[in-house]
Structure 1
Amino acid sequence: MTIRVVVADDQELVRAGFAMILSAQPDIEVVAEAGDGFEAVGAVRAHEPDVVLLDIRMPGMDGIEAARIVCAETGCRVVMLTTFGQDDHVFEALRAGASGFLLKDVRRDDLVHAVRMVAAGDSLLAPSVTRTLIAAFTSGAAVRPPQAGRLDALTARERETLRLLAQGLTNGEIAAALVVSEHTVKTHVSNVLTKLGLRDRAQAVIAAYETGLAVPGRI
């Protein structure tokens, strides 16, 4: 199955470079390019891609607002792009529904892998972005008042799965910790996302901290 992609960045060379790398893959088709958020939203509406790469800083409508609209209106997966590893808008972008966050100096192979990974329903964060996210929780800057009631619909095993997921563990590592199969973990993760109304693992991590299930420093 071909993965349809829209690339949005206000820098033409960056946009063209990403499009060229992705188009060279046999299973990826770049269906449109965009120079700002308005064009990106229009391209997603017109072409119905599987994944859109959004520069977080664009003139007119920025990537975060574009992500918010795309995630609210479509099932397209969003990967945010930035030049900075310590971007102040990381948390806001994830709250908007972004499934991934990559630096613009990402290696060719990692870019391709990221698109395939997100298209398959997974989420990803560059290591430096993960550090920014955890630092935000640690400082309290990104935390809302505890919302533990949101977890009432989860079983005890689903809560434990969410707690481990918030530590950044893979399905295999969670399976080892709970002494269950990876298939069972996938079922637990799917149930967590469905019951909490979340798009992917990135939002699940946010939910774990917002509800107090995961606490910075207690890993």
Structure 2
Amino acid sequence: MKKLLLADDHDLVRETIAEFLRGQNKFDVCVADSLGAALDRCGTDGPFDLVLLDFMMPGMDALSGLARMKARASCPVAIISGTAPPDVARRALRSGAAGFLPKTLDPQSLVAAVHHMLLGETYKPMDFLSLEDSDLNQINLTPRETDVLVGVSKGKSNKEIARDLDIQEVTVKLHLKTMSRKLNARNRTHAAMLGRDMGLA
């Protein structure tokens, strides 16, 4: 069984990916919520066969976090991200990342990418890398994220939005988090302002 280290500061994303990989019965997955915690896990729980680092989590400081982990771990280190543009992905690969995994990857592609990197290959999502950064200027919110943004713009609380949409409050929080990342919003007020400016809400 291969031993993986997954570091991501978003609890739900981290645990969802970790549980999916564990469910393959081929991976022992350790988790961390920051680069510092991931570096510590290398000392306490290593060695690992592969490390997956979220690009935006605390301590990463852009790609310097990749270099620090590569120096600490004696295994391939890959970057995962839901927000980094293609240029960052290309720079990560040039800096020696074992791969760049967009969080939009479907589950089976994620497993295939992990296997690919465990074989010593570099995983390059060519359809993503071929995009120009300007192609991502169009903010693509899901219908549900747009619904949540409309609620936020009206000054409603998460509980009120959940009731209006007939979904769980934790689901509202997840949509708020992903939507805020797409908008590059600092907080819900900023998200509401950006949404109105972009004509999204």
| TM-score range normalised by the length of the shorter chain | 0.5 to 0.7
Task: Give the 3-state SS of the residue equivalent to 2:24 in structure 1.
Answer: coil
Structure 2 distance, partners of 1:124, 1:7, is 16
**Contiguous gaps of at least 5 residues in structure 1:** 137-219
Higher RCO (CA < 8 A, seq sep 6+): 1
Superposition TM-score, scaled by structure 2 size: 0.59
Residue 36 in 1 paired to residue 34 in 2?
yes
1:87 Cα shift? 4.0
1:125 Cα shift? 1.2
Residue 58 in 1 paired to residue 44 in 2?
no
Structure 2 distance, partners of 1:85, 1:58, is 12
1:28-177 → structure 2 map (5 Å cutoff): 28-30=27-29, 32-46=30-44, 47-62=46-61, 64-84=63-83, 86-132=85-131
1:13 Cα shift? 0.4
CA contact (8 A) 2:89 2:129 kept: no
1:66 Cα shift? 2.5
Task: Give the 3-state SS of the residue equivalent to 1:15 in structure 2.
Answer: helix
Question: 1:68-111 CA deviation, whole Å, 9 max, x = no partner?
Answer: 12222332111211113634422332233211011112111111
CA contact (8 A) 1:82 1:104 kept: yes
Structure 2 distance, partners of 1:127, 1:104, is 15
Q: Which residue of 2 aligns with 1:157?
A: none
Aligned residues: 132
Kindly provide the amino acid, as one letter, of the partner of residue 37 in structure 1. Answer: L
Query: What is the RMSD computed on CA atoms of the aligned residues?
Result: 2.1
Superposition TM-score, scaled by structure 1 size: 0.55
Q: Which residue of 1 aligns with 2:19?
A: 20
